[in-house]
């Protein structure tokens, strides 16, 4: 990347700088607002389990908040039904900057529903997604890893996986 | 009181150590499949694409395109062709770009 912006940073430097800022601001305390855009509630069940004693997300500095105005991270489930699109945009706009959007579950990633008159079949076209968490539903461990990736405390591991069994004894 | 509370008290811990330590129960999770390129042929790939209920699989020429983000880990491809697909065991799948979740698996099998 060679594109220069007004601050004289290249795109790669700006992205590294943004990652450092997010880690500094959110690394130890992050408030999460969940948003259900038409999911079957399996993802909500797993998100609820994050607060249970076994996973205990508070120990990592994550907290749930009922108000988007208090939230740093929007955790979106479901395939974005068209009836909810306006509310989803308003929720996103109500959050203070900087903000992170996490697409949670196969529906939100565009896997289960195709676009049709009732649903967009994924949230990518409506909200600017920063982290994608696959799974149907994603287990609480996968959600924890996704949250830690979102704040820059764990690496994006799936980028280097090829999902082929070559060389693996069967 | 649930049994796991007593068990946790006896062992001195009820909360997982993840991410500092690996979580032992993670191996029980349903995970997306990994594919064996050596046995995948065009015919077999088309059969796998046909059984996939969530459009996670597609065939593009001599490659099987696997969208991990669309996979629901239902296991139908593993039931259809146990020699070609098996659970990957990977649950740490969060990606910072949607394109990171789309994998191309070359079809290396000889047509029968």
Backbone angles phi, psi at A61, to 5 degrees: 90, 15
**pLDDT averaged over every residue in chain A:** 86
Query: Chain B contacts of A130, Cβ < 8 Å?
Result: 96
* CA–CA separation, A96 and A29 (whole Å): 15
Q: Nearest CB to B18: which of A133, A144, A146? A: A144
Query: Which A-chain residues 106-125 have CB contacts (< 8 A) with chain B?
Result: 106, 109-112, 114, 124
Question: Would the pLDDT of A2 be above 70?
Answer: no
Q: Between A26 and A143, where is the model more confident?
A: A143
What is residue B52's predicted lDDT score, i.e. its pLDDT?
92
DSSP H/E element including A132? strand A131-133
The residues with which A31 forms a beta bridge, in sequence order, are A63
Q: Between A22 and A76, where is the model more confident?
A: A76
C-beta of residue A136 within 8 angstroms of C-beta of residue B75: no
**pLDDT averaged over every residue in chain B:** 87
Helices and strands in chain A, H and E counts: 5, 5
Averaged pLDDT for residues B83-99: 89
The residues with which B102 forms a beta bridge, in sequence order, are B67
Question: Would the pLDDT of A83 be above 60?
Answer: yes
Q: Which residues contact A58 (CB under 8 A, 6 or more apart)?
A: A51
Lowest mean pLDDT among A105-109, B15-19, B59-63: B15-19
What is residue A169's predicted lDDT score, i.e. its pLDDT?
47
Question: Would the pLDDT of A4 be above 80?
Answer: no
CB A114 to CB B55 under 8 A? Answer: yes
Interface size, chain A vs chain B, as Cβ–Cβ contacts under 8 Å:
155
Q: End-to-end CA distance of chain B, in Å?
A: 59
Q: What structural domains does chain A harbor?
A: 24-152 (3.40.50.12280)
Q: End-to-end CA distance of chain A, in Å?
A: 42
CB B93 to CB A135 under 8 A? Answer: yes
Question: Would the pLDDT of B112 be above 70?
Answer: no
Question: Would the pLDDT of A30 be above 60?
Answer: yes
What is residue A48's predicted lDDT score, i.e. its pLDDT?
92
Q: Nearest CB to A146: which of B14, B88, B94? A: B94
Q: Nearest CB to A112: which of B34, B54, B97? A: B54
Residue A37 in tokens = 């855009």
Nearest CA in chain B to A128: B97
What is residue A94's predicted lDDT score, i.e. its pLDDT?
93
Query: Chain A contacts of B8, Cβ < 8 Å?
Result: 53
Q: Pick the residue of B69, B84, B91, B105 with the most A CBs within 10 A to test the interface with A by mutation.
A: B69
What is residue B27's predicted lDDT score, i.e. its pLDDT?
87
What is residue A7's predicted lDDT score, i.e. its pLDDT?
64
pLDDT digits (tens, 9 = 90+) for A114-138: 899 999 989 988 999 999 999 999 9
Query: Which A-chain residues 39-68 have CB contacts (< 8 A) with chain B?
Result: 53-56, 59
**% of chain B exceeding 90 in pLDDT:** 30
Question: Would the pLDDT of B84 be above 80?
Answer: yes
Measured in angstroms, the CA of A52 and the nearest CA of chain B are apart by 9
Residue A30 in tokens = 């992050």
Q: What structural domains does chain B harbor?
A: 29-106 (3.30.70.3270)
pLDDT digits (tens, 9 = 90+) for A52-79: 888 888 888 899 999 999 999 999 999 9
The residues with which A101 forms a beta bridge, in sequence order, are A74
Q: Pick the residue of A165, A166, A167 with the most B CBs within 10 A to test the interface with B by mutation.
A: A165
Averaged pLDDT for residues A32-45: 92
CB A163 to CB B66 under 8 A? Answer: yes
What is residue B15's predicted lDDT score, i.e. its pLDDT?
82
Query: What's the CA angle centered on A127, arms A124 and A131, to 5 degrees?
Result: 65
């Amino acid at each position: 990347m060679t594109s220069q912006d007004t601050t004289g940073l290249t795109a790669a430097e700006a992205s590294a700088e943004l990652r450092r800022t997010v880690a500094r601001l959110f690394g130890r305390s992050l408030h999460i607002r969940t948003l259900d855009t038409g999911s079957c509630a399996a993802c909500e069940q797993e998100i609820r389990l994050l607060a249970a004693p076994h996973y205990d997300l508070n120990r990592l500095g994550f907290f749930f908040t009922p108000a988007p105005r208090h939230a740093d991270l929007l955790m979106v489930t479901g395939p974005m039904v068209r009836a909810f699109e306006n509310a989803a945009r308003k929720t996103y706009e109500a959050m203070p900057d900087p903000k992170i959007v996490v697409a949670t579950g196969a529906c939100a990633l565009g896997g289960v529903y195709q676009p049709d008159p009732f649903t967009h079949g994924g949230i990518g076209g409506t909200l600017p997604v920063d982290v994608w968490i696959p799974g149907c539903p994603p287990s609480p461990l996968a959600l924890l890893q996704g949250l830690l990736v979102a704040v820059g405390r764990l690496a994006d591991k799936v980028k280097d996986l090829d999902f082929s069994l070559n060389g693996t004894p069967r | 009181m649930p049994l796991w509370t007593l068990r946790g008290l006896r062992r001195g811990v009820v909360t997982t150590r993840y991410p500092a330590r690996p979580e032992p129960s993670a191996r029980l999770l349903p995970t997306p499949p990994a594919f064996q390129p050596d046995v995948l042929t065009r015919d077999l790939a088309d059969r796998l694409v046909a059984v996939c209920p969530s459009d996670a699989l597609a065939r593009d020429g001599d490659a099987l395109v696997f969208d991990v983000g669309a996979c629901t880990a239902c296991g139908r491809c593993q039931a259809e062709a146990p020699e070609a697909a098996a659970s990957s065991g990977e649950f740490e799948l969060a990606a910072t770009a949607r394109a990171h979740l789309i994998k191309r698996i070359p079809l290396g099998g000889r047509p029968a």
